[in-house]
Structure 1
Amino acid sequence: MKVFAVGTITTPPSPEQQQQIMSKEVPDTLQLYLDGKIEQFWFRHDRPGVIFLMQAKSVDEAKLAVDRLPLTEGGFMTFELTPVGPLAPLGRLIQK
């Protein structure tokens, strides 16, 4: 299953907190990518945060993965998770 995980910074960390947290956040995020849990990732331009396209067995599995990231664990970021799939109504356009 594919899941969009839209992360928003809710409480910006102080510069000192940011230095400490990001030294863990980046490797942890890259590990999720290398493990195949994050397929693509983007930086948000509308507000501080990220968007991940994730591969997971369930929304709960995706939530567990993003909840373990340091920014989320520290209460600095929240994620909205949305399961997505093929655009099924397009099947009506195929004549069989």
Structure 2
Amino acid sequence: MKVFAIGSIIKPLTLEQAKPIMAKEVPDTLQLYLDGKIEQFWHRKDREGVIFLINAESADQAKATLAKLPLVEGGFLSFEYVLVGPLAPLGRLIQS
């Protein structure tokens, strides 16, 4: 199962906060990618935030995975979780 985790900054970081938090956020995020938990990631263009495509069995599992990130733990970033899967109606287009 795949889950889109759509993240929005809810409390901007000060310059003093950014350096120590981001020094941990970046490697933690990359480790989730290397562990296969984050499949793809993007920077949002409509507002400050990120979008992750997560490999998870449920939205709760995706939420538990991302809850450990420093920006989430610190209350700076929150996510909306959307379960996605194959576009099943396309099967109607296949003739038996």
TM-score of the alignment, normalized to the shorter chain, above 0.5: yes
Question: In the TM superposition, what are the counterparts of 1:9-28 in structure 2 within 5 Å?
Answer: 9-28=9-28
1:6 corresponding residue in structure 2: 6
RMSD, matched Cα: 0.6
Q: Structure 2 stretches of 5 or more lacking a match?
A: none
- Counterpart Cα distance in 1 of 2:12 and 2:53: 23
Partner of 2:37: 37
Following the alignment from structure 2 to structure 1, what is the Cα–Cα distance between the partners of residues 77 and 71? 6
C-alpha distance in 2 between matches for 1:53 and 1:73: 20
Q: Which residue of structure 1 lines up, in the alignment, with residue 84 of structure 2? A: 84
TM-score (norm 1): 0.98
| Residue 57 of structure 1, CA deviation | 1.8
Q: 1:6-59, CA deviations, whole angstroms, 9 ceiling, x for partnerless residues?
A: 000010010010111000000000010000000000001110000000101221
- 2:58 corresponds to 1:58: yes
**Distance in 1 separating the partners of 2:17 and 2:65:** 22
Question: Structure 2 length normalisation: TM-score?
Answer: 0.98
Name the residue aligned to 2:49: 49
Q: Give, in whole Å, the separation in 1 of the partners of 2:74 and 2:46.
A: 22
Q: How many residues align?
A: 96
Percent of matched pairs sharing the same residue: 68
Runs of 4+ in 1 over 6 A off after TM superposition: none
Cα offset, 1:3, TM superposition: 0.3
